[in-house]
Amino acid sequence: MNVHISPSLLSLPVNETKEWVKKIDGKADSFHIDVMDNQFVPNYTLERFSPPFIAQLKTKSKKDVHLMTELPSKYYNTYFEAGASLVIFHYETVKNPTLEIRAIQNFGMKAGISIKPNTPASVLDEYLDQVDSVLVMTVEPGFGGQPFLSNQLPKIAQIREKAPDLDIAVDGGINLQTAKQCLDAGANVLVAGNAIFNQPDPMAVLGQFNQLKNR
């Protein structure tokens, strides 16, 4: 499986977001954009990462939108218009995942489904042949900079066993060490915020993440 690196914009200083995106553009497979409504998670980014703001980021790297919101379908259209290639919703927020997956794919975007740490991987079984990717949260969603939950690793392996060709992303506490554990477990998409941006030389760390592609 190809390894993808997806820096999370949440860890950037708000007023430096555009310049960092410009600097990194083309050197990451995608930008990871955390949209939070202060209901599903105790944090709010709907203004910071509003669809008009995301639309202004004209990038070669793809834009992945991770919806940590109730009623995610409210946002598919606007983030499609903002140029998202992948929209990820949370299993815990919807009644019928199949309808959500179809709604996202009908826009021509890829559809991803995410599970929180306490949600078992088995809930995804019936959707694995419908979705374009799954995202395993390796921290409780809401904030960057939390420690990696290694008890999530078996979930990655369980999903990989059932879906050999599916993109499996990990999000939360991913640094160069935990990234390797996730790759070994079967993940292939690495979302990383603080491990890249909370460093003296983010570009060097991004380079090291990109090196993981040649393992």
Pick 55 or 149: Cβ nearer ligand DX5: 149
**What is the distance between the alpha carbons of residues 18 and 8, in angstroms, rounded to a whole number?**
13
Three-state secondary structure call for residue 87: strand
Pick 31 or 164: Cβ nearer Zn ion: 31
C-alpha atoms less than 13 angstroms from C-alpha of 114 in its C-beta half-sphere: 29
C-alpha atoms less than 13 angstroms from C-alpha of 201 in its C-beta half-sphere: 5
Decide: is 63 part of the binding site for Zn ion (CB under 5 A).
Answer: no
Rounded to 5 degrees, what angle do the CA atoms 133, 136, 140 make? 140
Out of 25, 29, 34, 184, the active site residue is 34
Decide: is 7 part of the binding site for ligand DX5 (CB under 6 A).
Answer: no
Decide: is 171 part of the binding site for Zn ion (CB under 5 A).
Answer: yes
Q: Which residue is nearest to ligand DX5 (CB)?
A: 193
Rounded to 5 degrees, what angle do the CA atoms 139, 155, 80 make? 65
Pick 4 or 32: Cβ nearer ligand DX5: 32
Q: Which of residues 141-170 bind ligand DX5 (CB under 6 A)?
A: 141-146
Least distance from ligand DX5 to the Cβ atom of residue 39, Å: 14
Decide: is 121 part of the binding site for ligand DX5 (CB under 6 A).
Answer: no
Catalytic residue IDs: 34, 171
